Structure formats: C-alpha cells, structure tokens
Amino acid sequence: MTHPVSQEATADVVSPLDEAGVGAIVLDAIERKAPLAIRGAGTRAGLGRPVQAARTLSTERLTGVTLLEPSELVVSARAGTPVAEVEAALAERGQRLAFEPFDHRPLYGTSGEPTIGGLVAANASGPRRVIAGAARDALIGVRMVTGRGEIIRSGGRVMKNVTGYDLVKLAAGSHGTIGVLTEATFKTLPIPESETTLVLEGLDDAAGVAALCAAMVTPFEVTGAAYLPARGDAPSCTCLRLENFESQLNYRTAALEKTLGHRGPTNRLDVPTSRALWREIAEAAPLLGHERRMIWRISVAPTRAAELVAKLRPVLASHFYDWSGGLVWIAVEPSEDACAGLVRPAVQAARGHATLIRAPLATRAAVEVFEPQAPALARLTRAVTAAFDPEGVLNPGRMHAL
C-alpha cells in the first residue's frame, strides 16, 4: 500500500560511486537543461515542495566514514553513509552527534537508512538541540558539487575556523538546492556516563512549558525539555532529561527536583525508559498512528508557545512541544489547505514560523510548505541560491515555488 505522503515518482535514478561522478551528472543536467531531484536514501522524501525533475540523483553509494578522531572531537563521512553507521562508529569510541539526529521514517512511513547527506540537507536535529545546538551547529565542514557542477569545500575538520565565508551553514538545511553534498564533517561530543528523565504529571500546556523554561534556566544543563499533553487516561507529562557522569547526575537530579518541587511531584525514569522516551520524541512519535493527518512543525519563542497552541486549539487533532516549548508539533485532520489559513496567521502573530512537514503531494504543491518570506528576504534567498545553481538544476521548487 502506498503511504499517503509518498514522494513524487522517480523514473530514472542514478547513484554515482564517487564525487567526480556526481559532478559529471550535474554538468550533464546543466547541458541538457534537465533538472535533478537530489536524495540520499529517500527516507525524508516527503519533506518540502514537490520537485519537477526527470531524473533523480542519489548519493546513497557515496559511503564510508573517512575520519574518526575522538581526541579531536571530529568525524567525517561521505554523504551516503547511513547515519546509524556513523553513530555506531562514534559510540564504539564513546562519542556521539550531540544534536541527536531526527529520524523522519516513522513520520513518512519510509524505510531504508537515513544518510548523512539527508541529515545535513534537512538540518534534522532532535531533542538535545535545545542545549547542544542544531545539526548546522555541529557541522564544521562540507564537500559538495554545486549547481554549476563544481566541486567545492567549505570549513574543514577543525572546530574553530573563520577562513572564508561559512558556506557550511548554507548547506545545512538547504534541501539539496545549492549543491549535492558529498562529504560532511561534524564536531562530536562524549556520551555521558548516565542519564535520567524527570517527569511532572498533569500540568496544562502553559504550566508545562513554564516548567520546561524554569528548568532550562537552571545551571544543571537539561538536555531534553518536552511537554506531552494528556492522552486518554494518561496525564500530561512534562519531561526533563539530565545527562552526566553518574555522581554528578545524582546531585543535579536532586537539585532540579528541588527547583521544580512546587510545581508538583516528579518521577525519575531509569536509563532504558529515559532513552526510549527521547528516541520517540526524536521521531515525533507522539503524533503518529493517524496516517492521514497533516502535520505542522512550528518554531516559536518558548514564552509564546502555549498561547499560540491555544489559538490553534479548534483545529488540533494532537500536538506536543519539544525544545523547551520552542518547537511545537501539531497534527490536523486532512483538509485542502492543511488548515494553513488558520495556522499561518497565528504563527506569524506569535513571530514564529511553520513548516508543513507532512501532507500529500497535491497539498504540498498548492500550499507553501516553508514559511513565506518577506520580499527582500525572498530576493536575497533567490540571489544566493542562484549564486550556486544559476540554471536551477538542483531540486528546483523544493523550498519555494519557481
């Protein structure tokens, strides 16, 4: 059975074996004025506006970890390397990608192994982003083939580097529109000895988000801050993760409990339960189980999040908050415009921005998937994109209508 949000049909898929092969395919596309759809393993293929392309260029055969130096906190891998492979190689040396890669597979009903290239293209960060920064913050170097068919590098393997413009940041979250990523280098961090999650039950949205914010301004370095509303008989859960050396963790957990004490009783989750919980949040699992619902991902200042959600209440099928309230996931029942007519103005009034993260192809063609930009910003975005891809051969239309 086809999942309702499956990617546009791709007749012709080419998977080059090396960077030079990528370059040749892009040059050929320029020559023939035949745009390419760019993808890794296609696990995030439901993300963005539909692309009009006769051919798909996949980086999934550009594989392999090319640099792993734990004492320098750095890892490099070719774009098609499975994220899981990089994470496993790091874990073996006691390290990890601190931004906690977001896995879109459950959301889109896709299979296969998410790749490093797709991770970068979507800037796909999970719960720990709230303190550790996003994928774009950990990304310190890239190699890519631009829409001119040229191979360029930006950044490198050292974490402090201001030599030349930071094109690395442009690549992160560019959804394959400025270049085809061929290799990425990340700053890594040690995996702490242990973790726990404190859960406060039964708070309403506003009180829950306030508790998250109160925890985030303590010095205890909370590494996950999510609010899951009540479901059926289950009460709402305000979840706060702490990670550290075992001995320090005990001290910090007790201190955080004391800080939050007046807000209600707290439960401590053991390590496996805590891990499982944040894994679910890193897949937006609280919204899943209703394939046809349309899903928005909203970024907003935490202090305005609960009020925004209250305004959206009439159309909410389900929702939850991550990033201390700064990231709101909402699901709405299927409709022609995915409730954009209500969501967009409410989000704009809250000075946030919204991405229609899951909707059928036709909806994503008709409704702006990404937050519409003011004219001057849209002009700059177009000019910068054209600086890399003047002929529009890479994922044309993915981020903005042409």
Partner 1 sequence: MTGIAMPAADPRILARRDEIVAGLRALVPGEGVIVSEDERRAFETDALTAYRRMPLAVVLPSTTEQVAAVLAFCDREGVPVVPRGAGTSLAGGALPQEDAVVIGVSKMARVLDVDLASRTMRVQTGITNLGVSAAIAHEGFFYAPDPSSQLACTIAGNIAMNSGGAHCLKYGVTTNNLMGVTFVTMRGEIVEIGGDAMDAPGLDLLGVICGSEGQFGMVTEATLRILPMAEGARPILFGFETSEAAGAAVAAVLGAGIVPVAIEFMDKIAIDICEDFAHAGYPRDAGALLIVEVEGSQVELDEQLARIEMIARQHGATSSRQAKTAAEAAAIWKGRKSAFGAMGRISDYICMDGTIPTGRLPEVLHRITEICDAQGLKVANIFHAGDGNLHPLVLYDMNDPVSLAKAEEAGEEILRACVEVGGCLTGEHGVGIEKRELMTVQFTHVELAQMMRVKQAFDPNWLMNPAKVFPLEMRFPSHKAAA
Binding residue for partner 1 (CB under 8 A) from 47, 90, 168, 260? 168
Handedness of CA 341, 343, 349, 351 (dihedral sign): negative
Q: Does residue number 258 form part of the binding site for partner 1 (CB under 8 A)?
A: no
Applying the rule CB under 8 A, the residues between 263 and 302 that interact with partner 1 are 299-302
Q: Which of 158, 271, 362, 402 binds partner 1 (CB under 8 A)?
A: 158
* Nearer to partner 1 (CB atom), residue 230 or residue 254: 254
Chain centroid to Cα 291, Å, comes to 20
Shortest reach from residue 112's CB to partner 1, in Å: 25
Q: Which stretch binds partner 1 (CB under 8 A): 51-59, 130-138, 308-316, 357-365?
A: 130-138
Say how far residue 131 (Cα) sits from the centre of its chain.
15
How many other C-beta atoms can be found within 10 angstroms of the C-beta atom of residue 119? 32
Residue 5's nearest CA partner among 349, 351, 395, 360 is 360
Residue 265's identity, in one-letter code, is P
353 binds partner 1 per the rule CB under 8 A: yes
Residue of the chain from 159, 206, 285, 365 that contacts partner 1 (CB under 8 A): 159
Cβ proximity to partner 1: between 14 and 73 the closer is: 73
Separation of first and last alpha carbons in the chain: 32
What's the min distance (Å) between Cβ of 52 and partner 1? 20
Task: Name the burial class of residue 26, with classes exposed (0-12), middle (13-18) and buried (19+) by CB atoms within 10 angstroms of its CB.
Answer: buried
Q: What is the Cα–Cα distance from 249 to 268, expressed in whole angstroms? A: 12
CB of 19 to partner 1, least distance (A): 13
Tell the residue number behind the tokens 């791709």, with chain if given.
10
CB neighbour list of residue 5: distance below 8 Å, 6 or more residues apart:
46, 108, 109, 358, 359, 360, 361
By CB under 8 A, what part of segment 67-106 binds partner 1?
A: 69-74, 94
Q: 235 by DSSP, 3-state: which?
A: coil
Window 184-223: contact mask with partner 1 (x via CB under 8 A): -----xxxxx----------------x--xx-xxxx----
Number of residues that bind partner 1 (CB under 8 A): 88
Site residues for partner 1, window 46-65 (CB under 8 A)? none
Q: Quote the least distance from Cβ 384 to partner 1, whole Å.
A: 5
What's the closest the beta carbon of residue 172 comes to partner 1, in angstroms? Answer: 6
163 near partner 1, rule: CB under 8 A: yes
* The residue to which tokens 């935490």 are assigned: 302
If the CB atoms of residues 156 and 334 are measured against partner 1, the closer one turns out to be 156
What tokens does 126 get? 């999970």
